[in-house]
Every structure is written in structure tokens, then in C-alpha cells.
Amino acid sequence: MPWWIYVYVVLFGLVIGSFLNVCIHRIPQGQSIVRPRSRCPYCNHLIRAWENIPLVSYALLRGRCSQCHARISWVYPAVEALTAGVFYLLFRKYEFGAAFWLNALFFSLLIALVFIDLFHRILPDVLTKGGTLVGFLLVPLQSPEFFTKPATTWIGDMIAARYLDSLLGIALGGGLLWVVAKLYFMIKKIEGMGLGDVKMMMTIGAFLGWRFAWLTIFLGSLVGAFVGIAFIYLSGRDRLYELPFGTFLGVAAIAATLWGAPLIHWYFSLL
């Protein structure tokens, strides 16, 4: 691939990241993600086009509103840079295969969920239930051969196998977290893991199938345990139920999509 195609992929990621910022701030409030145009939350100043360029505007404005000079959250450039970064990695893996477009959609969904859970401790149904449905319907596109190999007899078998894998992913991912949530509630009498986490895991299973759903739960728990131990150590409080588990699951699912096969291979080489 010529280098300038990667520049376009990064720019595409920045634009999608900018849209995800709108989703992250408006979906928890139940507002439309299309209208009205964005305003400064402090002085109500209408954000002009040149103030809305991903990363560039934040740098030009030095992270402040052009009117009232209130600080603009670091989340905006972080989401834009993160989206561009994971799109770049996805493109290196799949190039123009159908799997690039499908997983770019999947990552967009995950990044919205990661940040909404981090700041609001909720995982909106419109993203988790909607994501499960869309992931299941489009899952045949995960096959790298899609669109490139001539569609002869193999395609029917491949589609059936992908749908089965996706269903198993939904059942295993959602089911496992549901059991853990119930057990946690029985033992601790605290709602440690909500149904939102269960539904988010169903979405991940729908897109990735049962093997990587399993890997996502494993990696997410690992990251959660490390962060949790650090949290207890630094804060001196055992309040693990306050941690955003959906955030860890989202990060783990991105890692599983990009490096799932080598990660599983490496894990079994240790045994």
C-alpha cells in the first residue's frame, strides 16, 4: 500500500473520532447526535467550523474555548487520536478487506462504550442491544475472503459457520458474565456488575465469535484486576464495584480483534 493511503485512513479515524465525541457526550443525556450544532457548555458559544477540526483546533485553541477561555476536556483530542490509532492498526491488518470496515464500526461502538462507562457508569441499550443485532447480521464480513474470492460453494458454508460462531459468542459471552454478576450479587449483596456489562459482552461475542469473546473476558478481567489492585492500594478502599468494567471489556475487545490469534498462540506456548 502506498503511504498516502495510510494518511487517509488516519484522517478518516480522526473524523469518526470527532463524531464519537458527540455520541459520548450526548447519548447518556438522551440527546440527538445529529442536531443541534455543538456549543461551549460554559458560555453557550456556537462552535464554528474551524474550531471543530479534530486535534488541530484543540492545539490552535490551546485547549480553551475561543470566547470564555474555559478549559476544553482532554477527552476530545484523546478520543480522536485513539480512534485514528486503532483504525490505522486495523487497516494494517485487513487493508481494504470487508473486515476492515466491519471492525472499524465495531471499534467505534467500543470506544463510545468505553468512555460513556468511564464517565457515567452506564452502557446505553441503544449501543449494546443495537450493536449485538448489527454485529450478528454483518458477521460474515469477518471472513478475509469475503469480496475477494469468487463466490462459489464455499460462501454458503462460510456464512453458516460465521453465524453459528456469532450465536455461540453471544451466548457464551453474555451467559458467562450473567452468571458472574448473579454470583457476585449473592455473595456481596452489591450490584457489582450490571446487565449493561452482560449486554456489552453479547455485542462483543456477536462481532468476534466465541473464541475471542472468551479471550476478551480473560483479558478484561486481567486488566480489571490490575487496575482494581492499584485502586485499592492508592485509595485504601475496597470498592471494586465502582470500577467501570465495560471500559476494561472494551479495551480487551480491541486487543482481541487486533492481536487475538498471536495472543492465544503465545498463551498456549507458555503451558
Sole window of 36-44, 95-103, 188-196, 218-226 interacting with Zn ion (rule: CB under 5 A): 36-44
Name the one residue in this structure whose C-alpha cell is 466491519. 102
Q: Is 46 in the site for Zn ion (CB under 5 A)?
A: no
- For residue 46, the cross-strand partners are 39
Q: Tell me the angle at which helices 154-188 and 195-235 cross, rounded to the nearest 10 degrees.
A: 50
What sign has the CA pseudo-torsion 141, 142, 148, 153? negative
Site size toward Zn ion, by CB under 5 A: 8
- Minimum distance, C-beta of residue 70 to Zn ion, in the bound complex (Å): 5
Please tell me what DSSP assigns to residue 153: T
Query: Of residues 1, 5, 7, 43, which one binds Zn ion by CB under 5 A?
Result: 43
Q: Which amino acid appears at position 33 of this protein? A: I
Query: Of residues 16, 27, 65, 208, which one binds Zn ion by CB under 5 A?
Result: 65
Q: Is 96 in the site for Zn ion (CB under 5 A)?
A: no
Alpha-carbon span 264 to 259, nearest angstrom: 9
Q: Is 40 in the site for Zn ion (CB under 5 A)?
A: yes
Kindly tell me which of 70 and 133 has the beta carbon lying closer to Zn ion: 70
Alpha-carbon span 24 to 138, nearest angstrom: 24
Kindly tell me which of 45 and 211 has the beta carbon lying closer to Zn ion: 45
Kindly tell me which of 67 and 148 has the beta carbon lying closer to Zn ion: 67
Query: Of residues 42, 154, 185, 241, which one binds Zn ion by CB under 5 A?
Result: 42
Q: Is 121 in the site for Zn ion (CB under 5 A)?
A: no
- Burial of 238 by CB count in 10 Å (0-12 exposed, 13-18 middle, 19+ buried)? exposed
Kindly tell me which of 66 and 221 has the beta carbon lying closer to Zn ion: 66
List the one residue out of 125, 122, 164, 123 whose CA is nearest residue 142: 164
* Count, residues in the chain: 271
Q: Is 45 in the site for Zn ion (CB under 5 A)?
A: yes
Kindly tell me which of 5 and 43 has the beta carbon lying closer to Zn ion: 43
Residues at the contact surface with Zn ion, assessed by CB under 5 A: 40, 42-43, 45, 65, 67-68, 70
